[in-house]
Amino acid sequence: MKSVDELNLPEDYRFAEDHEWAKLEGDKVRVGLDDYAQDQLQAIVYVELPQVGDSFKKGEPFGVVESVKVVVDCYMPVGGEIIAVNTALVNSPQLVNESPYDEGWMIDVKPTDVREMDTLYTSESIREAILEKMEEEGQ
């Protein structure tokens, strides 16, 4: 597993407590899993995504990610309507590991309140939070 310094947490992204990332692109928000999440999960074998047209509030689960031995829910960093899902993940779930911020994106959201982006962590603050967590667990 990567050390906290090895983690890629790009500055122009925002991050949720559960390690989803959110990026504002015009009037839509693109969402995926950050480098810490994919590194912890290791090889991802399956991604379950919602349907286009579904709506969720901030913090509600929108999908599921599975590795061989672990299942985790993915939570909305901002609330809104799903306007696109990355269907490439059906046959290539490993894209989340290989390219978490780019080809491994999960959903596009039309946000109900774009100000919810401001409540998210920045690249710097999420790195601090991860460091704190690692120290707690004695790593």
88 touches other proteins by CB under 8 A: no
Q: Which of 18, 39, 66, 81 binds other proteins (CB under 8 A)?
A: 66
Element at 39 (helix H, strand E): helix 35-41
90 touches other proteins by CB under 8 A: no
Q: Which span (14-22, 42-50, 107-115, 128-136) binds other proteins, by CB under 8 A?
A: 42-50
Between 54 and 124, CB nearer to other proteins = 54
Structure tokens at 95: 């894209």
93 touches other proteins by CB under 8 A: yes
Q: Which span (28-36, 49-57, 61-69, 126-134) binds other proteins, by CB under 8 A?
A: 61-69
Question: What is the edge-to-edge ordering of all strands in the sheet holding 61-67?
Answer: 44-48, 61-67, 71-75
**Interface characters, 11-30, with other proteins (x: CB under 8 A):** --------------------
94 touches other proteins by CB under 8 A: yes
Binding residues (CB under 8 A) for other proteins: these are: 43, 45-46, 66, 68-71, 93-94, 137-138
